[in-house]
Amino acid sequence: MSGPGFRKDLYQGTAEHYDHFRPGYPPALVDDLRSRAELGSSARVLDLACGTGQVAFALAGHAREVVAVDQEAGAVAYGQRKARRLGGSPWDGEQAWQRVFHETLERWRDVTGARDRVPEGWEDPIRRDPHREVLRRAGLDYEGKVELSVHHRWTVESLTGLVYSTSFLNRAVLGPNAGAFEDDLRRRLLACVPDGVFEQDLTFAYELARASW
């Protein structure tokens, strides 16, 4: 099935912000995945589209080998540096600060002319052909989806950093407008929540399928 064509540079330059500001997967979710996948000293794990390795690093101590693959060279290089040294979207919601956050991002996407970075209707093919069906066609036994909710507190700085971790409005997209964007976002968010603490219930999830061959 053909789907939307994505640009190859969507996450260029986002690795540090992605790793620092995307909320990490809750330990309880990782423990649940590890238990269901029956990881152990002989297990080999493949993490596709790994980003900076949040899942790969979380599972690294529970398997013999973890292979992490991503098309973004910057994310891979960051993950390699991290290995040598050794995350729901807050703009989707009905709280006043979330609506302001969303409106601000949308306005700056127009200011920067960045709406063409992500194809319109990119979610439609996933709705028509959900992950569980793709996994089943690949010959895997689909076992279901597991979700876990955690309470999270954002600051203006962490929300800004999260935006810089995205494919649609990162620093490369904003360019010389980054300072103006940060000032605008700060002013609008603090007008909603003067103490600068933005609370949200985040939901993390994974879908599990096993190979029977």
Within-domain flag for 125:
yes
- Do both 180 and 78 map to the same domain? no
Within-domain flag for 16:
no
- Do both 74 and 128 map to the same domain? no
Q: What is the CATH number of the domain that holds 59?
A: 3.40.50.150
Q: What is the pLDDT of residue 177?
A: 96
- Do both 107 and 65 map to the same domain? no
- Do both 154 and 195 map to the same domain? yes
> Which pairing describes strands 140-154 and 65-69: parallel, antiparallel, or unpaired?
unpaired
Q: How many domains does the chain have?
A: 2
Q: Residue range 171-188: average pLDDT? A: 97
Interior angle at CA 202, CA 63 and CA 29, nearest 5: 20
Q: Residue range 19-34: average pLDDT? A: 87
Within-domain flag for 72:
yes
- Do both 99 and 153 map to the same domain? yes
The CB density around residue 19, as the number of other CB atoms within 10 Å, is 21
Q: pLDDT digit string (tens) for 96-111?
A: 999 999 999 999 999 9
Within-domain flag for 174:
yes
Instruction: Enter the tokens of residue 2.
Output: 């053909």
Q: Residue range 156-183: average pLDDT? A: 95
Residue 82, pLDDT > 80, answer: no
Range with the largest mean pLDDT of 56-60, 136-140, 182-186: 182-186
- Do both 44 and 108 map to the same domain? no
Q: pLDDT digit string (tens) for 6-25?
A: 788 888 888 889 888 888 88
Of residues 82 and 188, which shows the higher confidence score? Answer: 188
- Do both 120 and 146 map to the same domain? yes
Lowest mean pLDDT of 8-22, 27-41, 81-95, 117-131, name the range: 81-95
> Which pairing describes strands 44-48 and 140-154: parallel, antiparallel, or unpaired?
unpaired
Mean pLDDT over the full length of the chain? 87
- Do both 120 and 192 map to the same domain? yes
- Do both 187 and 167 map to the same domain? yes
Round to whole Å and give the CA distance between 186 and 119: 28
- Do both 103 and 180 map to the same domain? yes
- Do both 185 and 81 map to the same domain? no
For 56, the domain range is 25-86
Residue 205, pLDDT > 60, answer: yes
Closest CA relative to residue 155, chosen from 199, 201, 95: 199
Q: pLDDT digit string (tens) for 115-163?
A: 888 887 778 888 889 999 999 999 999 999 888 888 999 999 999 999 9
Catalogue the E-assigned strands of 76-192: 140-154
Of residues 13 and 2, which shows the higher confidence score? Answer: 13
Lowest mean pLDDT of 12-26, 27-41, 66-80, 166-180, name the range: 66-80
| Last-in-domain residue among 53, 86, 119 | 86
